[in-house]
Amino acid sequence: MVLLAVVASGFYLAEYLAAGRLPGGSSRTGFVCGVIAGLIVVFELLLWPRRRVRSWRLGSAQAWLRAHVWLGLLALPLALMHARLLFIGGWLNWALMALFLAVIFSGIWGLAVQQWIPGWMLEQVPAETIYEQIDHVAAQHCREAERLVRGMCVADPAEHGTEHGGDETSADPDDHAVITGLRSMTGIQGKVLQVVQIHAIIPGTAAVRRMFFDEVKPYLLGGRWSGSSLASRTTSVRLFAAIRGSAPTEAEVVIDHLERACDIRRQFDLQARLHGWLHGWLLVHVPLSVALGVLLAMHVPVALWYW
């Protein structure tokens, strides 16, 4: 692709030196560059129906994607030479080039985030799960944490059977609470991250129980959209440090478990944001590409009419 761009640039430079002015779309080099760039745009647009129509799936998806990237980059210098290096007139030509440049730069941005984000996510989100299952897995973590809190923390007398309270039963010596996670990239599902044994009610833990229902549970279920201060790691560390200072030593295992659950929820929040960056660029790139195809279909007959 680089060689083709260099060859086209050589012909363009030779015609410029011979004519004494920049060749445009009506020159031989400019016309050929425009035709090739237009055909490349048509090929680029075929990637989307190719993904959805089985009969169009010629070649591997990786080969199509590689060709999509390199041909798209090749089309940029060809289009610029066709447009006399942007010294063009008319609103249609300007709109077409503006759209073309927007498509190219949005594609480069998408390529960059796809190269960077997956590796960064692997390092920063060790509790990564399947994106569509984030809410389900977070709810599972919340149920396990609530089971632990109800089994080991003293009920607040002010609860009076509300959501915080309920019938308390003695803990089974063999009972336990588990925080699990899924890492889609390894294919290992239900990987146990932490197991906490439920022993018996710990005196002096009413504040821990109250914190769970007032702060931890809403955050585990709603994530960053809950508006909880636990979405901030700094604030979370401070809150859990404060509750440790007022709770008995035996409650450390419960507090550690709740803090770990909040940490995993923050990882899920980060994963959701990174997923948006990883795929959100398509919401810009695809509509702009379609609009580019429409304007190109208008440009061709208009250019030939005035040629």
Together in a domain, 44 and 173: no
**Cα distance between residue 137 and residue 129, in whole Å:** 8
**pLDDT category, 256, cuts 50, 70, 90?**
very high
Q: Do 156 and 164 touch, CB atoms closer than 8 A? A: yes
Together in a domain, 145 and 271: yes
Together in a domain, 190 and 66: no
Together in a domain, 135 and 179: yes
pTM check: above 0.85: no
* pLDDT tens digits, one per residue of 63-120: 888 889 999 999 999 998 988 877 666 787 888 889 999 999 999 999 999 899 988 8
- What SS3 class is residue 88? coil
Task: Give the rounded distance of the alpha carbon of 177 from its chain centre.
Answer: 31
Task: Please give the average per-residue pLDDT across 166-187, as a whole number.
Answer: 45
Q: Retrieve residue 295's tokens.
A: 């304007």
Which domain covers residue 171, as residue numbers? Answer: 131-279
Together in a domain, 32 and 165: no
Task: Please give the average per-residue pLDDT across 265-290, as a whole number.
Answer: 92
Together in a domain, 14 and 143: no
Among 231, 259, 280, 284, CA closest to 131: 280
- The reported pLDDT for the residue numbered 183 is 41
Together in a domain, 112 and 221: no
Backbone angles phi and psi of 198, in degrees to 5: -90, 120
Together in a domain, 289 and 245: no
**Cα distance between residue 78 and residue 104, in whole Å:** 13
Residue 125 — left, alpha, or beta (φ > 0 → left; ψ -120 to 50 → alpha)?
A: beta
- What SS3 class is residue 142? helix
Show the DSSP H helices in 46-90 as ranges. Answer: 47-52, 61-82
Together in a domain, 213 and 284: no
- The reported pLDDT for the residue numbered 159 is 56
**pLDDT category, 5, cuts 50, 70, 90?**
confident
Q: Over pLDDT 70: what percentage of the chain?
A: 82
Together in a domain, 119 and 185: no
Together in a domain, 115 and 154: no
Together in a domain, 182 and 56: no
- The tally of domains found in the chain comes to 2
The helix or strand, by DSSP H or E, that contains position 150, with its residue range, turns out to be helix 134-152
